[in-house]
Amino acid sequence: MQPNSATMPEKTKGTTPVTADGTDAHGLLQAMAGELGLEGDGLTAAAERIADALERMSPPPGPAPDFGRASAFVWHVDPDRLEPVDQVAHVHLTLLHGVDRARDTLLDNTLRFAEGFMANNALLWGARGMGKSSLVKAIHADVAEGHPDLKLVELQREDLPSVGRLLDHLRNAPQRFILFCDDLSFSQDDQHYKSLKAVLDGGIGGRPANVVLYATSNRRHLMPRDMIDNERSTAINPSEAVEEKVSLSDRFGLWLGFHPCSQDEYLTMIRGYCDAWDVAVDPDVLTAEAIEWQATRGARSGRVAWQFFTDLAGRHGVRLG
């Protein structure tokens, strides 16, 4: 005798496994055993273990977080939950050099959003190590000082399919949220980009008015150039082959480009760090060491500048924190 698939346990509710119609899974399994003429403590224990396993496979979502507890949260799945971040790693906004236009544009957008006005989703794209994610965190910290209800929520790229459930947590909250997705890009046959449209377009329900998305990527169109060229060359209709994925970046109201810095900007960053942490170094020595450091790395960027300063501070016995 085969049990009816409609009566098999399908999901959990609270802490007790239930079927889709709300039936207690423990009681259902015992009833099925009775119908089959199987009884005994051993069978009951086996049914309990099966029901408990089903609950572990599909754990209930965590409770709604206390958004007043922290200024930033990280979204996790299995089970769904928002974990508070007590201390966000960020640099002060005044220490970010060489990104003036992007800084001013994103700061203005964030201030308007924090004050309850409409604001655009933003895509920060461009050169590695030029402060894209640092700018998002620095601006949030700066604006949140005057607007404590502005929260930062980090969403990992691999968790994009769960973004609809995350928005359900945020939609009715009185706070306002910057949804932050770092290092966003999509590879061949990657379907995660479809989930992102729930944030950018919002479907028929619309994007929650208290949520804005800030994403960073090394790629302007969120996908590799060779992948775009390959799909165009092999598709029956080349113009439509990549349009759906490429047009995803068009849904961001703000495109903020980050480009490799000049040597003067690189040295300005380092001098700014020295001033902020009171590291006294002869200017000629500082310049020579900084240029030698970037030559060994084969690149100049904000990240390389910070790595040099970290080494410099350590050699001078200065603690960073």
- Enumerate the domain spans of the chain: 5-57, 72-258, 263-315
Q: What is the pLDDT of residue 71?
A: 95
192, 158 Cβ separation under 8 angstroms: yes
Percentage of the chain modeled with pLDDT above 90: 47
Task: Flag the least confident range among 60-74, 161-175, 182-196.
Answer: 182-196
For residue 208, is pLDDT > 70?
yes
> pLDDT digits over 99-137, tens only?
999 999 999 999 999 999 999 999 999 888 999 999 999
| Measured distance CA(55)–CA(75) in Å, rounded | 21
Which has the closest alpha carbon to 123: 223, 55, 44, 36?
223
Question: What own/partner pairs with CB < 8 Å and gap ≥ 24 does 199-203 have?
Answer: 199/121, 199/163, 199/167, 200/121, 200/248, 200/251, 200/252, 201/251
At 239, the pLDDT band (50, 70, 90 cuts) reads low
52, 12 Cβ separation under 8 angstroms: no
For residue 237, is pLDDT > 70?
no
pTM of the model: 0.75
72-258 domain in CATH 3.40.50.300?
yes
Please, which residues bridge with residue 278 across strands?
A: none
Nearby residues of 229 by Cβ (< 8 Å), 6 or more positions away? none
**pLDDT, mean over the chain:** 80
Q: What is the pLDDT of residue 196?
A: 74
Q: What is the mean pLDDT of residues 278-304?
A: 94
Percentage of the chain modeled with pLDDT above 70: 66
For residue 304, is pLDDT > 80?
yes
Q: What is the pLDDT of residue 85?
A: 94
At 320, the pLDDT band (50, 70, 90 cuts) reads confident
